[in-house]
Amino acid sequence: MFLSISSILRAFFFLAQCSSAQVSPPLSSLPPSDVTRSDVIFSELKTTIISGAQTAPTASSAPSSTTTEAFTAIATLSSNGIHGTASAITAVRSRPPTTRPCNGYPEFCERKFSNISMVVAHNSPFVKPHNVASNQLYTVVDQLNDGIRGLQFETQKPNTSSEIRLCHSSCEYLDVGTLESYLTTVRGWLDAHPYEVIAIIMGNNNGQRTHIAASEFIAPFKRAGMTRYLWTPPAPTMNLTEWPTLAEMILKDKRVVVMLDYGANQTEAPWLLRQFNYQWETPFSPINPAFPCTQQRPPNQTEDVSRNRMYTLNHNLNIELSLTGVSGLLVPASALLDKVNAVSGNGSLGLNVEHCEQLWGRPPNFMLVDYYNRGNFAGSVFQVAAIANNVTYNHKTYCGPDSNSAASRMSQGSTVLFSCCIVLFLFLGRDLGIFTGGFLLFASR
């Protein structure tokens, strides 16, 4: 019986992948445009500016405005092809603003990291075809290329001699490899994208009682070549006004903010932020489609503190599986993703962000979603972010690695068909009583 169920499932997941692919060209196949001369000028000036800022006597008290102005000038110079000097920088300050985007938008360069809404891939590494415990369809490089700027995931040490691995709920169910290997991939992307700032938000040891020591995170980041990009906070807690601008982070090349939910020690690893001293979260892995924008973690934080810190909106709708040995395994509610990740409508990301803004006076910093490529169109989560950020959504978004494959030309109809199939499967599986055990056993092979 499992065999026949298995082949039906294979077909479903094949359809899922086909219908999720898009027809726009991938960024990597587009001409490199301005990523040539202006980059060279930028990087030459960057060295000068940073060394200047470090030797300035007021560097600790007033580096930010200097750096930001310099950045604007640099980008303006670069786009005009002028050979920059200090006097030229002053001279062009009144010209039209920069065309060099930071995290996709020129407007973001001068905004603080804490004043930008970013789309976060929930469980970013958990990309395994045919596995119901997966949270994303596309790998981390595609995620970043498409506009994801936050990478969230669980870490785990299945035994004391193991390296830190990336596992969903348990390494028995979904183990996608070592933290080091994943970080090496991310570091490669950062090397190739010098104007991008990202956040890495980790859970410590899959919610188990024992935590992985903060010091153990140092080696994987170091061996992945990530250390040089790690941003170190100036203080053990920070409110919204204290964050640097993206331009400052880019100029200093400290473009990766890393947070750990529990067990951080900023004496041992100063760049590994104790997450809840810098941001709070709405309810975790919700199964409530109303998605209340209330504060959940850290518990009992005063509203005054919350209003002055960054926050994460958990907008990943789950269904709960009960599996022998593991109670309450949460997996994405796949059939509803097109609605959950939509710009508007009941239960949508767009509506949820609006509710959050009403409650807190500002949109969430991190919008955590499953299968970011799904929605009312592929890219709708990025439109929600653009609205939250008060910038114009460019509609150039595509999602996925390759638009030219036959699979991507499949009609819209397959999306509908897929949703129907999943719903059918949920009923079928429940009625046959094999939904959890039978499927996962098959799926994890």
Ligand X SMILES: *[C@@H]1O[C@H](CO)[C@@H](O)[C@H](O)[C@H]1NC(C)=O
Which residue ranges make up the site for ligand X (CB under 6 A)? 115-117, 158-159, 161-162, 171, 239, 241-242, 265, 267-268, 289-290, 299-300, 308, 346-347, 362-363, 388-390
Q: Which of 29, 390 has the CB closer to ligand X?
A: 390
Amino acid (one-letter) located at 54: Q
- Between residues 191 and 268, which has the closer beta carbon with respect to ligand X? 268
Instruction: In angstroms, give the least distance from the CB of 15 to ligand X.
Output: 27
Q: Using the CB atoms, write b or e for 249-278: b if 16+ within 10 Å.
A: bbbbebbbbbbbbbbbebeebebbbbbbbb
Taking alpha carbons only, the member of 234, 228, 224 closest to residue 266 is 234
Give the type of residue at 214: A
To the nearest whole angstrom, how small is the minimum distance from the Cβ of residue 161 to ligand X?
6
Of the candidates 412, 400, 435, 427, the one whose C-alpha atom is nearest the C-alpha of residue 132 is 435
CB neighbour list of residue 176: distance below 8 Å, 6 or more residues apart: 125, 126, 127, 128, 166, 167, 168, 182
Least distance CB 4 / ligand X (angstroms): 32
| Strand bridging mode 175-178 / 165-167 | antiparallel
- CB nearer to ligand X: pick between 135 and 389: 389
Known catalytic membership, residue 122: yes
Q: How far apart are CA 334 and CA 407, in angstroms?
A: 20
Q: How far is 266 from 213, CA to CA, in rounded Å? A: 12
- In the numeric block, which tokens belong to residue 139? 């790998």
> Which one, 328 or 345, has the nearer CB to ligand X?
345
Q: How far is the CB of 396 from ligand X (least distance, A)?
A: 19
**83 counts as catalytic:** no
CB of 362 to ligand X, least distance (A): 4
> How far apart are alpha carbons 86 and 375 in whole angstroms?
47
Is omega for the bond preceding 299 within 30 degrees of 0, making it cis?
A: no
Q: Tell me the closest approach of the beta carbon of residue 214 to ligand X, in angstroms.
A: 7
- Least separation in angstroms between CB 43 and ligand X: 29
Considering the candidates 83, 122, 315, 355, report the single residue annotated as catalytic: 122
Nearest residue to 378 (alpha-carbon basis) of 336, 419, 337, 413: 337
Answer yes or no: are the C-beta atoms of 228 and 253 closer than 8 Å.
yes
361 versus 433: smaller Cβ distance to ligand X: 361
Between 55 and 300, CB nearer to ligand X: 300
Contacts for 4 with CB less than 8 Å, ≥ 6 apart: none
318-323 vs 326-332, strand pairing mode: antiparallel
Between 26 and 263, whose beta carbon lies closer to ligand X? 263
Residue 161, token pair as written in the block: 């001699």
- When the beta carbons of 55 and 161 are compared against ligand X, the nearer one is 161
Element (H, E) at 65: helix 63-80
Three-class SS state of 353: helix
> Pick the catalytic residue: 83, 130, 168, 193?
168
DSSP state of 26: P
CB of 353 to ligand X, least distance (A): 10
* Contact partners, residue 445, CB within 8 Å, separation at least 6: none
Distance CA 12, CA 8 (A): 6
Q: Name the residues annotated as catalytic.
A: 122, 168
